[in-house]
């Protein structure tokens, strides 16, 4: 009995075993994790609540700041950031003119009388939770005096690029048109376009006005560096001028891609046609580089005048290799001509080099009385000789080369595809004397009929 009692006391005094300790630690860890998560969640909630409260204050301040601006034309969209207690807040303000509280108008353009400026403010902050939403605030600001003066008018100018984005810093001139119809010179010209590509001419006398826009290195879709449009201003109304202007792309030109011989003379006045979905524009005087509006689809570039922008229905098919169809000329079979692929460049960039194919001929300068040096004049023919393959040309082109010493010079000259006659002339192009085609040397594919030379772009069928 005494022994049993001793054993019992020893068992009771032996303490926890390893299993009990591990279980106790696991229970403690679970409880501690729960407490920690609760504390962290509480801290994050407090932090988020504090950030939301601060964001709401910033939104209110931005609205108050917007309403304090006297000239609503200076109230523009913008994005700013500020750091408070280590938290970065982003404040986005959008300002739009509206003629009705529910209709936004970029630069105020869209019709109707301008009445309000709508301001939307959104505030976000660093460390926002996935469930947090930005703080927003909105207001409509009604000018104390309507934008449209009862006796005067307003001109609203919007300038955008090819992608519809605002063009900032464009210079705008508003001057009386012809007929003026009551228009008078403005006391001050509009400011340059703002961050939204907008500017305004205020308190304008009713009448007709020319609005001209420009920015260094920029052109419009018609390749004009200073495009203009006419607006008619009425009393107590806003007139809109919407312009598209973009930074020009540079197009380098390599003449004579199809000839690898010696030096070749290019006529100083050579025209180059830039074909786009918008029409044709011409560059003159054989330019090495041409700046053009950056159409995404690019340009097909041809030597010569394909069609005159002033009379687009008048076509010179002969300068376009793609207009030449397969056929047999001088007992040689030719395949269809191939128009060169279009080239494109983004605004401000440089396109790949455009390699222009042309005809090349060596022209001996004949000896003539009354001079030692002579020039060469080439005149295009409206139609080529029978079976020459020439698709025709409704545009007259004349190009001049020179000067060359008579009797000893045989310069290699290049011209657009099509049919030509050659003359030796004086410096002014007069006193012309026909140069016989039989004396010439041809370096590219050409056909001769009498004294008419036809440069043919078609490849020979193998």
**pLDDT tens digit sequence for 235-280:** 888 888 999 999 999 999 998 777 888 889 999 899 999 999 889 9
- For residues 50 and 446, the model is more confident at 446
pLDDT at site 9? 47
Please give the structure tokens belonging to residue 450: 């009498």
Of the candidate ranges 39-48, 162-171, 407-416, 447-456, the one whose mean pLDDT is the lowest: 39-48
Residue 461 near residue 327 (C-beta atoms within 8 A): no
Please give the structure tokens belonging to residue 308: 């005159």
State pTM to two decimals. Answer: 0.73
In this prediction, residues 100-123 reach a mean pLDDT of 67
Mean pLDDT for the chain overall: 86
Distance, CA of 400 to CA of 376 (rounded, Å): 6
In this prediction, residues 338-344 reach a mean pLDDT of 95
Please give the structure tokens belonging to residue 187: 């006391």
* Percentage of the residues of the chain whose pLDDT score is greater than 90: 55
pLDDT at site 68? 83
Residue 156 near residue 148 (C-beta atoms within 8 A): no
Residue 375 near residue 427 (C-beta atoms within 8 A): yes
- For residues 382 and 46, the model is more confident at 382
Q: Of 81-85, 125-129, 183-187, 256-260, give the range with the top mean pLDDT.
A: 183-187
Distance, CA of 393 to CA of 303 (rounded, Å): 13
pLDDT at 101 over 90: no
| For the chain, domain boundaries | 56-141, 153-246, 249-455
> How is residue 265 annotated by DSSP?
B
- Percent of the chain that is helix, strand, coil (3-state, to 5): 15, 40, 45
384-427 tens-digit pLDDT:
888 899 999 999 999 999 899 998 889 999 999 999 999 999 98
pLDDT at site 133? 85
**Strand, helix or coil at 386?**
coil
pLDDT at 61 over 80: yes
Q: How confident is the model at residue 127 (pLDDT cuts 50, 70, 90)?
A: confident
H/E element, 6? helix 2-12
Distance, CA of 248 to CA of 192 (rounded, Å): 19
The torsion angle over the Cα atoms of residues 26, 32, 38 and 43, rounded to 10 degrees, is -140
pLDDT at 8 over 50: no
- For residues 361 and 43, the model is more confident at 361
Q: Dihedrals φ, ψ of 36, to 5°?
A: -65, -45
**Strand, helix or coil at 27?**
helix
370 Cβ neighbours under 8 A, 6+ residues apart: 431
Please give the structure tokens belonging to residue 14: 């032996």
Q: How many CA atoms lie within 13 A of 60 on its CB side?
A: 6
Distance, CA of 37 to CA of 200 (rounded, Å): 58
Residue 457 near residue 445 (C-beta atoms within 8 A): yes
In this prediction, residues 168-189 reach a mean pLDDT of 95
Q: Dihedrals φ, ψ of 35, to 5°?
A: -65, -40
Q: Does domain 56-141 fall into CATH 3.30.1300? A: yes
The CA-atom distances, in angstroms, between 422 and each of 58, 269, 363, 428, 443 are: 79, 16, 9, 15, 16
pLDDT at site 42? 58
Q: Which fold has domain 153-246?
A: Immunoglobulin-like (2.60.40)
Q: How many Å is the Cα radius of gyration of the chain?
A: 39
Residue 381 near residue 291 (C-beta atoms within 8 A): no
Burial (CB count within 10 angstroms: exposed 0-12, middle 13-18, buried 19+), residue 340: middle
86-100 tens-digit pLDDT:
889 999 998 877 655
For the chain, helix (H) and strand (E) counts, in that order, are: 2, 32
In this prediction, residues 165-193 reach a mean pLDDT of 94
pLDDT at 448 over 90: yes
H/E element, 135? strand 135-141
In this prediction, residues 18-43 reach a mean pLDDT of 68
In this prediction, residues 430-434 reach a mean pLDDT of 90
Cα 263 from chain centroid (whole Å): 37
pLDDT at site 295? 94
> How is residue 44 annotated by DSSP?
H
- For residues 176 and 29, the model is more confident at 176
Edge-to-edge strand ranges of the sheet holding 272-276? 279-283, 272-276, 300-303
Between strands 311-315 and 307-308, the pairing is antiparallel
pLDDT at site 6? 43
pLDDT at 115 over 70: no
């Amino acid at each position: 009995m005494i022994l049993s009692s001793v054993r019992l006391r020893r068992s009771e005094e032996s303490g926890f075993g390893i299993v009990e300790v591990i279980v106790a630690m696991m229970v403690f860890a679970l409880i501690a994790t729960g407490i920690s998560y609760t504390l962290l969640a509480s801290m994050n909630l407090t932090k988020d609540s504090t950030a939301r409260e601060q964001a709401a204050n910033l939104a209110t301040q931005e609205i108050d700041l917007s309403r304090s601006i006297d000239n609503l034309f200076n109230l523009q969209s913008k994005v700013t950031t500020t750091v408070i207690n280590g938290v970065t807040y982003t404040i986005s303000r959008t300002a739009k003119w509206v003629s009705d509280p529910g209709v936004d108008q970029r630069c105020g353009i869209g019709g109707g009388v301008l009445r309000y400026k709508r301001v939307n403010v959104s505030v976000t902050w660093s460390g926002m939770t996935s469930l947090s939403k930005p703080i927003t605030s909105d207001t409509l600001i009604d000018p104390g005096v309507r934008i449209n003066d009862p006796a005067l008018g307003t001109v609203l100018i919007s300038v955008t690029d090819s992608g519809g984005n605002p063009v900032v810093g464009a210079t705008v001139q508003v001057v009386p048109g012809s007929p003026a119809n009551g228009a008078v010179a403005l006391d001050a010209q509009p400011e340059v376009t703002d961050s939204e590509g907008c500017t305004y001419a205020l308190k304008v006398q009713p009448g007709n006005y020319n609005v001209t826009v420009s920015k260094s290195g920029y052109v419009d879709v018609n390749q004009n560096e200073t495009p203009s449009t006419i607006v008619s201003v009425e009393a107590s109304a806003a007139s809109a001028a919407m312009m598209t202007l973009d930074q020009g792309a540079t197009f380098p030109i390599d003449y004579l891609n199809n000839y690898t011989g010696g030096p070749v003379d290019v006529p100083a006045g050579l025209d180059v046609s830039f074909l786009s979905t918008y029409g044709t524009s011409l560059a003159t005087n054989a330019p090495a580089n041409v700046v053009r509006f950056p159409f995404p689809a690019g340009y097909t570039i041809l030597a010569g005048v394909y069609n005159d922008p002033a009379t687009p229905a008048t076509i010179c098919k002969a300068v376009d290799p793609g207009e030449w169809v397969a056929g047999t000329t001088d007992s040689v079979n030719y395949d269809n001509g191939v128009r060169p692929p279009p080239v494109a460049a983004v605004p401000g960039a440089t396109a790949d080099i455009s390699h222009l194919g042309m005809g090349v001929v060596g022209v001996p300068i004949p000896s003539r009385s009354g001079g030692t040096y002579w020039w060469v004049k080439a005149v295009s023919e409206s139609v080529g000789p029978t079976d020459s393959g020439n698709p025709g040309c409704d545009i007259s082109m004349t190009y001049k080369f020179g000067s060359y010493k008579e009797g000893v010079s045989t310069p290699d000259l290049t011209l657009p595809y099509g049919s030509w006659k050659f003359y030796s002339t004086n410096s002014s192009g007069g006193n012309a004397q026909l140069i016989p085609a039989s004396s010439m040397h041809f370096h590219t594919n050409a056909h001769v009929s009498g004294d008419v030379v036809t440069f043919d772009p078609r490849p020979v069928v193998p």
